Structure 1
Amino acid sequence: MNVFASLVERLADLLQPLFSTTATAAAIVLFTLLVRAAVHPLSRAAARGQKARTRLAPQLAAIRKKHAKNPERMQKAIAELHAEEKVSPLAGCLPSLLQAPAFFLMFHLFSSGRMAGHSLFAAPLGDHYADALAHGGVFGPAGLVYLVLFAIVGAVATYNYLRARRQPAPVAVEPGQPGAAVAAGMARYLPLLSFATLISVAVVPLAAALYIVTSTTWTAVERAFLYRDMPQAASVVTAA
């Protein structure tokens, strides 16, 4: 945790001439961008893997149909196909898994009181939305900072949702197969989870909210770029 804290503090010192009293907030945003940039190669690999799995969907469907009564043989055949095509079913999870430690360590830092004395304009970085409401209300100085964050998150969530609706995600489970209904439901409602970020921003310290908003925005831009030639692939549900 000390490593992360020291990095944020050093970044804040470097940004002080440009951002003055908001230097720490700017350092958190920059730190988040550095974390996301570090895992971007894995995101690119995950995108390539997702496109490959989509390309292999007809073969996977054939395997499931052929070995419908032999689950063990089905899984073995799917694994062999993935190995032959050099596709990892877990590649899409790696970027999120690697970001998780950084987020939880930073969340602990943000909640430890080390943000005392630092603010984003009128909103202290260690406070929560409830504090902003208690000191000025929704349209108070601190409340307005949160309204801007909510607007950004809402815009990103709406973009993700509409993009998913325009490009329905194919479900890699044949109708009638076990799990087909669950997979179809996930493909339909998963984009709505983007709106849950609004709740996260409201309940975590403002410093952590900055991390979440920056990371969420990066994810939307990154996916739009990586999946530009196959936008529906970002939300594919796989059963392999």
Structure 2
Amino acid sequence: MYAFAPLSDVVGAAGTVLAGLAGLLEPLTGGAATAAAIVVFTVAVRLLISPLTVAQVRGERRRAALAPRVRELQRRYADEPARLQAELLVLYRSAGAGPLTGCLPLLLQAPFLLVAYRLFTTDEGGTGLLDERLAGVPLGHQLGDGLGGAVVPLFGVLLVALLVLAWWTSRRMRRGAPPAAAGTPGGETLARLLPLLPYTTVLVALVLPLAAVIYLATTTAWSGLEQAVLRRPSAGARI
């Protein structure tokens, strides 16, 4: 337990910030203040880590621009795997597009996402967040706890929103994915499976409390909008 004490402190501090936000929003949103605070809190977190997403997209664009040179190296050193790896490493380093460029932003986001997950799925720090209500439904309520009252409409709207976002994201992934290389069954399988990943958010939402589903819907919508803006052709010259 002691190993998680620092995380508990951070989660408690985040809960205090969320409670403060709810207090500020209450005159405008009334009984939905805590739910509105979750949305604002989520957007604030995503704004904080948005430079990491920009760095990730920039790295992807650099690696895409190197694709012709990578293919040439693969052709030239097809029979020398060790030499090929060394040449690719030099190429990526010279262009500032090392393989880890795309991974580091995701790794650096992990602490923020972990804190948000703990905040919206536990009562860690005694914040009382999950006891707050939206339309009479406790924010700690899960679908398995019962379907009475406003549970079905609330979860229904959020699940439909997640389903639409998953469809939109999947469609973008299918359009933007490069064609699988001929003769590489692994690549073809991956190309088929990746567009299905966005739909896992809908499945995850089925077992999360209402507070976490609100967070999930907000961050998923933000991700979709962020990717649509950053991956526009006109945005390529600016990042």
TM-score (norm 2): 0.84
State the one-letter code of the partner of 1:184. Answer: E
The 3-state SS of whatever aligns with 1:169 is coil
Deviations 1:162-220 (A, max 9, x none): 2233344245xx545xxx43233222320111011001111111111111111111111
Q: Does 2:142 match 1:123?
A: no
Match of 1:54 in 2: 64
Instruction: Report 1:22-171 matches (<5 A).
Output: 22-113=32-123, 114-131=128-145, 134-136=146-148, 140-170=149-179
Query: Contact between 1:22 and 1:118, CA under 8 Å: does it hold in 2?
Result: no
Distance in structure 2 (CA, Å) of the matches to 1:195 and 1:230: 29
Higher mean C-alpha deviation, range 183-192 or range 30-39: 183-192
State the one-letter code of the partner of 1:127. Answer: H
Q: Does 2:236 match 1:222?
A: no
Q: Unpaired runs of 5+ in structure 1?
A: 232-240
Higher mean C-alpha deviation, range 86-95 or range 146-155: 86-95
State the one-letter code of the partner of 2:27. Answer: P
Deviations 1:111-156 (A, max 9, x none): 333324312223211111222xx232xxx51111011111111111
Higher mean C-alpha deviation, range 4-13 or range 102-111: 102-111
Per the TM alignment, residue 25 of structure 1 is displaced from its structure 2 partner at its CA by 1.2
The 3-state SS of whatever aligns with 2:232 is coil
Identity over aligned pairs, percent: 36
Match of 2:217 in 1: 213
The 3-state SS of whatever aligns with 1:203 is coil
Match of 1:12 in 2: 22
Query: Contact between 1:122 and 1:145, CA under 8 Å: does it hold in 2?
Result: no
The 3-state SS of whatever aligns with 1:199 is helix
Query: Contact between 1:122 and 1:141, CA under 8 Å: does it hold in 2?
Result: yes
Distance in structure 2 (CA, Å) of the matches to 1:12 and 1:99: 25
Higher mean C-alpha deviation, range 82-91 or range 192-201: 82-91
The 3-state SS of whatever aligns with 2:53 is helix
Aligned length: 221
Query: Contact between 2:166 and 2:198, CA under 8 Å: does it hold in 1?
Result: yes
State the one-letter code of the partner of 2:61. Answer: K
Distance in structure 1 (CA, Å) of the matches to 2:112 and 2:69: 38
CA distance 1:116–1:38, change in 2 (3 Å): closer
Relative to its length, the structure with more helix (as a share) is 2
Segments of 4+ in structure 1 off by > 4 A?
none
State the one-letter code of the partner of 1:194. Answer: P
Deviations 1:61-83 (A, max 9, x none): 12122222332222211111111
Higher mean C-alpha deviation, range 144-153 or range 37-46: 37-46
State the one-letter code of the partner of 2:71. Answer: A
CA distance 1:123–1:64, change in 2 (3 Å): farther
The two structures, once aligned, show a CA RMSD in angstroms of 2.1
CA distance 1:71–1:156, change in 2 (3 Å): same
